[in-house]
Amino acid sequence: MGVKVNQDHFYDGYDRSTLFYDCFFDADEKKIKIYAPSFLNFESHLKRFIPASEHGLPLRWVIKKHRCFDVIEISVKVPPSALQVSFGDWKQSFKVQTDVRGMFAGAKVLCAVNKNNELKWIVDWVIYHQCNHGIEAVLIFDNGSNLYTMEELSAALSAVVGGDHVAVVSAPLPYGPSKGTGSGLGRAKFFQTAMLNLARDRFLARASGVLSIDIDELVVSRGEGDVFDALEKSWLGFILLDGYWRYPSSVLRRSHGEHFWQSSRNDDCPAKYCYRPGRGFGRFAVGVHGSLLFSRRLIPSVDTHYFAHCKFITTGWKRTSRTLPEDMVVDSELARSLTAAGLIEVD
């Protein structure tokens, strides 16, 4: 796997129990797709994997391998309502889900994984991107939040976007080991990468554009036009966004609207991206910070937009410094965008 374990509690977060994430019928490709964490050394056992229709007819399958996740594909003209799976003496039946691409067809979609972010943060995040980038729909994969129910999260989003354009998918599965427990952790964190690709295949294949960022990130325009305008101009169907850390004036301030300060060094962070499913590089596997298949040298960052990574919009799930830079100055472009969305908070 290419991971060196530094601390024993690496295994507390490592997913050793999930066999499959989801199973659905891709109506465009006429295939059942079973999303799974990387099989790794379990792959040798898959020769005993026998999928069958609900009538017991065996089905032929292939594995499409990706970094951090694998997909079992089964070509069928008419999908069975359920799939019978056996591993030797072990047998299990599960429903074949349908794709829901029509829900997001033609829409500009905001997509993220969430766990216990405050509802106000999530709502403000959506309002900001609605106002500044014309977001029309939201897809959230919830990784086991216990501060609110999925119904409460969906209701909060629907109040802003409209219920017909919101999907909250409950996915209370292991995320992966935490920072500091090992080196090469990217390959050990199956969940988020798998969800972002499942999002494209099952939900967003017909969307006009997908902005894939976290709840603590805000995309900022350096001039005229929103991020989807920049995407439309790219023949790649995929653009990268450079990221920079932003801070509030006090560590006690915890809202997006207070994070318009930057260090004089303008400290950077890993890139994020916006893409058009089904077009150019947007047709291929994505990661958390860019394409899984294509080097950043092939996808240069756009100079018209960047994203602000808000330091104290955090649930503390990974270790982070709790101090502020001594040499902070205002990010005027971000402050202007926050003001436009009615979110800026100053004394």
So where are the chain's domains?
17-98, 106-340
Residues in Cβ contact with 242 at an 8 Å cutoff, skipping those fewer than 6 apart: 268, 271, 301, 306, 307
347 Cα distance to chain centroid: 34
Helix 119-133 with 150-161: angle, nearest 10 deg: 30
Provide the token pair at 85. Answer: 């799976």
Evaluate if residue 317 carries a pLDDT over 60: no
Report, as an integer, the average pLDDT of 98-116.
Answer: 95
Beta carbons of 208 and 200 less than 8 angstroms apart: no
Q: What are phi and psi of 78, to 5 degrees?
A: -125, 120
Beta carbons of 232 and 304 less than 8 angstroms apart: no
**What is the CATH topology of the domain spanning 106-340?**
Spore Coat Polysaccharide Biosynthesis Protein SpsA; Chain A (3.90.550)
Q: What is the pLDDT of residues 236-276, one digit of tens each?
A: 999 999 999 999 988 877 899 999 999 999 999 999 999 99
0.75 exceeded by pTM: yes
Q: What are phi and psi of 140, to 5 degrees?
A: -120, 130
What is the number of H-type helices and E-type strands within the chain? 6, 20
Classify residue 336 by burial, with Cβ atoms within 10 Å: 0-12, 13-18, 19+: middle
User: What is the greatest pairwise CA distance in the chain?
Assistant: 69
Beta carbons of 66 and 196 less than 8 angstroms apart: no
Nearest CA among 287, 279, 199, 301 for reference residue 232: 279
Q: What is the percentage of the chain residues whose pLDDT exceeds 70?
A: 94
Architecture in CATH for domain 17-98: Sandwich (2.60)
Q: What is the pLDDT of residues 29-56, one digit of tens each?
A: 999 999 999 998 888 888 788 888 777 7
